Structure 1
C-alpha cells in the first residue's frame, strides 16, 4: 500500500495535518541559530518537542525538575517490605487508540508498540445502579451511538423519551476549532442539562468524561466535553477501548525514549529546576535554581501551569500586557488523590483491571495494577495478593487525609467485599493540585503554542490547540506543533500530525442515528 493511503489507526477518516512550509531567508528565516533549544519540562509535551527538534538536527537540552521523566505520567521506585522493589506513579492513564500523536512519539523507541497491551473492557458502574460496558459496541458512528443506547441499562425506554434527541444528535454535527468557541461560557454540566439524558446515563456514561480532567462538571468547559464526545465516541471509529503499558511508565516508556533521544544527541538534565528566563540580544538564557545558566536560541516551555505562570511573570520582556494577563489568569484544577495498596488477598475472579465509578463517595475509579504490569503480577502471584489503585478527583482544597482514606477504603469494600479484612502490606499515597483547568472562559483567550516572542513557544495539555485532542494527546500534539514553530522559523521542515476527523458526521449521520434510536 502506498504511503498516501497510510493511516495511523483503524479509522479511514483520520485526518493528516501537514506542517507549514518552512520560511526561507527571503521570508524571514532565522540564520546563525547554533546554540539550539532548551526544553523546560520532561513530560510528554517536552519530550515530544525535543524529539521533533532533534530529528531535524537541532541541538536540544531537556531540563526536568524531577528525577524521572514523564511529567504527570511519570513513575518512580519505592521499596516494599522485604526490600523488594515496587513502583508508584501519579495514577492510571488510558492510552486510547485515538492518541495518534502520542503513539507516534512512543514508536520512536518501540516501533510496534509492544510495550502497550490492550484492556478488554472499560466498565462504568453507578452506585446502586447498572454497569455499562463498551466492549461489544461497534466502533463506527452512528452505529456505535445507537448500539450503546440499545444495549445500555442506563437508557431505559421511559427515560429515553425525555431526551432532547435533537440536541444529542447535534453532537454529530461539530467542527473544530469553531465548536470550542461556540461553547464559551457553557459548562459541561450545562451541556448535560441541555441533553436531558437519564440521570443514570448523566452520572455514569457522560460525567466520567469531565472528571477525567480532575474537574467538577460545573466548572469544566462544555466545549471540551463536546470535543471528548467527538474524539472518543461520536466522531472516531477507533472505539472507546484502550491500551496500558506492561510495566511502570519509566521502564516501559520514558527510559527507552530517553535512550533514543540521547542517540540523537539530546542532553537530558533531570533533577534540575528552572528559576527564570533572561532575554539576550540573540536568544534566551535559561537560569537554573542551582545557579547554572543555559544559553539558547529559543525555549520550549512545557511545564505545569504554575511554573509557566511563574516564569512568565518573571520575564517582563516576554509578551504584551494582554497576553501576560491571560497567562496569569489561568486556573488550576482541584486536587486529586491517588492511593496504591499492596494487599495480601486477590480480588474475586473476573474483577476488571479498570472500573470507572460514579456516586461511590469520593471514589472515581479502581485499577488492579497486577492485571496490567508484569512486575506487579509477579509480586501478586508470590504473595497471593493484589496491587489496587484508587483515584479521587476534584477533592477539597485541604482534604482531611484520614477521612478521605477511610471513605475510599469503605467504597472499595462496597465494590469488592472480598477484600474487606485484607492486610495492607504496603501503601503509597499522594495528593496533587497541578493539573490545568479547562474552564468556561473564552477558548480563544487561552494561550496557544506560539507566543508574542518567536524565541519562546509553549506546549502541554493545558495549551490551546485547534484540533480535537485532549489530555496526553494534547500534550503530544502541542509538543509536535511547538517543535514545528521553531523548525519553520529556522527554515526546516516540520512534522505532520494526525487527528480524528475535525468535522462531525453531519446531518446524514444524525438522520441515520435518529432512525435507529426511534426504532427502539
Structure 2
C-alpha cells in the first residue's frame, strides 16, 4: 500500500470520531463493498404493472424550449402517441448544444456553445442515443487530464469499473500528487469533510449544507491539496463559481461525477458538431412520429384561468422581428453617465439617457457583442471578433457585416430594467397564432422561463410565480475558438481541464476530435483550439474584447509553441443563461411536476430527485416530465436510471 493510502485509510483514527460520523453500519458498508463486480445503474422509476405503452386517448402537448430537456420530453411523448408541438425561439434547436454555420476564410464550419463531454454515467442520455441508433456519432476520448498552472503535476482520469472507496484507492495509486492531498483523518474537520463527500444523501446533505456557499464551507481548515486539486476545478466545471455555489449542490455534483459513479471520468465527444450528431436525429424522430417543430418562433402570451394554463399565443420570427415585448436588466459594470447598457454576454443593448430607442449590440456578422469606441476619429461600435464597424446609430460602416445593428423601442422602465420591443416590425405583418393543449411543458432556460411568466395573462398560481422569481442564473460562460496556421504537440487529453489561470478553465483540440476540423487541419497544417471560461466575474472582464484578449494571452501560456503563430480567425460565444445553484435555493427550487395540473417544468435548473448534472440533468428532467404525463394517462413510464442515489457512508 502506498504511503498516501496508508495516510488516507490506515491512520490511527480516534475511534469515537469514526463511529460518531459514520456509525457501525456505514463502516460495514465500506468494508463489504465489492471490488470484483462493477456496480450497476439504479432504476429510479419503473412501473411494476403491465401498462400500455401508448396513451389511451387523443392527447396534445406543447413543449416550449428546444434544448435537450425539451427535445427529450417531445421525443418521449411523441413515441407514446401524444401529439406534440415543440416551440423554440432561436433559429436552431439544441439550446446549449445547438450549432450554427459560420464562415472562416473560404471554409464553412458549424459553431457551437462550446465542447461538451458525454460521460458514461449519462445513462438516460445514452439510452436515447442507443434508441436512435447513432452511437457511431460519438467517439471515446480515452482519458481526461487536469493540468495545473503551478504547484501540482497533472492528474489523469481513466475509465473505471469501481465506485467508492476503490476509485479513491485507484486515484491515490495513480496520482503523483497523492502526498499533497493534505487529508488527516485524525482531525475532526477533515473527518467531517470526508463524511460529506462520501455520504451524499438527499435531502439530508442539503439540510446540512445548502445554507453555505462552497467558499464558506471550505474556508475553515479545509485540506488545501484536496481543494486545489479537485474541489476548485471540478466545482467550476458545474458552471457555478465557488462563492455562489451551494455546498449541498456541490456534494450532489461530486457524488454524481465521482463518489457514486462507477464509470470513471473518461468520456465521449461528438464526431461532428452536436447539432448533426445528436440534435438532428432527435428532431427527425419527433417529426417521424407526427410531432410539429417550430423554430424561430416566439411565445407572445400565456393564458391562465382558475389555476391552469388555458392556451398560448405565438408569432413566427426572432426577437428582432417580433412585436413581442421582453424585459432586460441594467448592466452596472458597462453603464456610465453617457450611455446605459442592459443585458450581458452576447445579449447586450445600449441606451442613451432619455432615448426611446435601444440598440442591440449583437454583431450582425457572426454574433459577437460589439464594443463602444469613443475617440477623436470615430464614435461608434467595433466587433472584437472580426472587425465589423458600426456608426453610433448602428449603421454598418465596414468589415464583414452586411446588416445594421437592430433597434428596439423602449416600452417602459421599472427601476433597473427596461421593457423592449422590436422597432422595425410592420403592423399586421407578423400574425399571432393561438394554440391549446392538454399539457404544457416549459423547458426553456431560466431567462426564458422568467419571460414566459412575465407574458402571463390572468392569475398565475402564486407558489409557482414565487419559485420562478427566485431562480438565478450563474456567472457568465465564455468560449473562445481560435484557428491558427500551425499545429503543436500536446501530451494531455484532447479536452483538458485547467486550473490556476485568471480566465481559462479548459482547452479543447477540435482538430483532433471533430471530422470537419480534422480535415481542415490536414489540408492546411493548422490547428483549431477552444478555450472555456466556466463562470468568470463580469467585473474583471466587462467586455468581450477583454475576454478575447485574455484568452489569447493565456493560450500562449498554455501552449508556448503557438507563440508567433498567426491567428487566422477567432470566434467568441459568451452567454449568461446557465442555471445558478446559490446557497438556500434547494428548498424552494421547482420540480418537474408543479402545483398546476397541466404544467410541467424541464431543464437543468429543476430540482431533481436523484443525482445528475449538466446534460444528463436536462435530459432526465425532460423524461421525468414525460413520465408524469404518461402516469396520469395510465401509460407505462420510461425506466429512469441513475448512479447509486446515496453515498456508501451515508448518515
TM-score after normalising by structure 2: 0.71
**2:214 maps to 1:188:** yes
Q: In the aligned structure 2, how far is the partner of 1:220 from the partner of 1:117?
A: 32
Q: Which has the higher contact order (CA 8 A, sep 6+)?
A: 1
Partner in structure 2 of residue 114 of structure 1: 136
User: How big is the shift at 1:118?
Assistant: 1.0
The range that moved more, 157-166 or 489-498, is 157-166
**2:607 maps to 1:464:** yes
Q: Is the alpha carbon distance of 1:318 and 1:480 closer, same or farther for their aligned partners in structure 2, counting shifts above 3 Å?
A: farther
Q: SS at 2:625's partner residue? A: helix
Partner in structure 2 of residue 261 of structure 1: 286
Partner in structure 2 of residue 428 of structure 1: 571
The range that moved more, 319-328 or 305-314, is 319-328
Q: SS at 1:389's partner residue? A: strand
What are the residue-to-residue correspondences of 1:410-421 with 2, within 5 Å?
410-421=553-564
Partner in structure 1 of residue 639 of structure 2: 496
The range that moved more, 349-358 or 117-126, is 349-358
Matched residues, number: 490
Structure 2: which 5+ runs fail to align?
1-36, 317-431
Given candidates 20, 30, 41, the residue that maps to 1:14 is: 41
Q: In the aligned structure 2, how far is the partner of 1:47 from the partner of 1:382?
A: 36
Q: SS at 1:95's partner residue? A: coil
Q: SS at 2:579's partner residue? A: coil
User: How big is the shift at 1:219?
Assistant: 0.6
Q: Is the alpha carbon distance of 1:192 and 1:14 closer, same or farther for their aligned partners in structure 2, counting shifts above 3 Å?
A: farther
Q: In the aligned structure 2, how far is the partner of 1:192 from the partner of 1:292?
A: 53
Partner in structure 2 of residue 90 of structure 1: 113
Structure 1: which 5+ runs fail to align?
1-9, 25-30, 511-520
The range that moved more, 310-319 or 218-227, is 310-319
Structure (1 or 2) with the larger CA radius of gyration: 2
Q: SS at 1:466's partner residue? A: coil
Q: In the aligned structure 2, how far is the partner of 1:236 from the partner of 1:108?
A: 23
User: How big is the shift at 1:274?
Assistant: 1.5
CA contact (8 A) 1:319 1:451 kept: no
What are the residue-to-residue correspondences of 1:191-202 with 2, within 5 Å?
191-193=217-219, 196-199=222-225, 201-202=226-227
Partner in structure 2 of residue 104 of structure 1: 127
Q: Is the alpha carbon distance of 1:58 and 1:235 closer, same or farther for their aligned partners in structure 2, counting shifts above 3 Å?
A: same
User: How big is the shift at 1:318?
Assistant: 6.3
Partner in structure 2 of residue 151 of structure 1: 174
What are the residue-to-residue correspondences of 1:398-413 with 2, within 5 Å?
399-413=542-556
Given candidates 250, 255, 269, the residue that maps to 2:275 is: 250
The range that moved more, 221-230 or 149-158, is 149-158
Q: In the aligned structure 2, how far is the partner of 1:318 from the partner of 1:46?
A: 25
Q: Is the alpha carbon distance of 1:369 and 1:335 closer, same or farther for their aligned partners in structure 2, counting shifts above 3 Å?
A: same
CA contact (8 A) 2:309 2:599 kept: no
**2:527 maps to 1:389:** no
Partner in structure 1 of residue 98 of structure 2: 74
Compute the RMSD of aligned alpha carbons. 2.6
Q: In the aligned structure 2, how far is the partner of 1:243 from the partner of 1:139?
A: 19
Q: SS at 2:139's partner residue? A: strand
CA contact (8 A) 1:319 1:453 kept: no
Q: In the aligned structure 2, how far is the partner of 1:144 from the partner of 1:64?
A: 41
Q: Is the alpha carbon distance of 1:442 and 1:254 closer, same or farther for their aligned partners in structure 2, counting shifts above 3 Å?
A: closer
User: How big is the shift at 1:385?
Assistant: 0.9
Task: Indicate the structure with greater helix content.
Answer: 1
User: How big is the shift at 1:431?
Assistant: 1.1
Given candidates 576, 594, 599, the residue that maps to 1:451 is: 594
Given candidates 592, 613, 616, the residue that maps to 1:473 is: 616
User: How big is the shift at 1:411?
Assistant: 1.2
Q: Is the alpha carbon distance of 1:38 and 1:387 closer, same or farther for their aligned partners in structure 2, counting shifts above 3 Å?
A: same
**2:516 maps to 1:375:** yes
Q: SS at 1:77's partner residue? A: strand
CA contact (8 A) 1:341 1:427 kept: yes
Given candidates 353, 357, 362, the residue that maps to 2:503 is: 362
What are the residue-to-residue correspondences of 1:50-69 with 2, within 5 Å?
50-69=74-93
Q: In the aligned structure 1, how far is the partner of 2:142 from the partner of 2:486?
A: 23
User: How big is the shift at 1:360?
Assistant: 1.2
**2:251 maps to 1:229:** no
User: How big is the shift at 1:229?
Assistant: 1.6
The range that moved more, 382-391 or 165-174, is 165-174
Partner in structure 1 of residue 334 of structure 2: none
**2:161 maps to 1:134:** no
Q: Deviations over 1:471-515 (max 9, x none)?
A: 1111111101111112222222221100000121227xx9xxxxx
CA contact (8 A) 1:246 1:374 kept: yes
Q: SS at 1:289's partner residue? A: strand
Q: In the aligned structure 2, how far is the partner of 1:106 from the partner of 1:192?
A: 38
Q: SS at 2:486's partner residue? A: coil
CA contact (8 A) 1:43 1:69 kept: yes
Q: SS at 1:487's partner residue? A: helix
**2:582 maps to 1:439:** yes
User: How big is the shift at 1:418?
Assistant: 0.6
Which runs of 4 or more aligned residues in structure 1 lie more than 4 Å from their structure 2 counterparts after TM superposition? 19-22, 162-165, 280-283, 316-319
Q: SS at 1:425's partner residue? A: strand
The range that moved more, 41-50 or 114-123, is 114-123
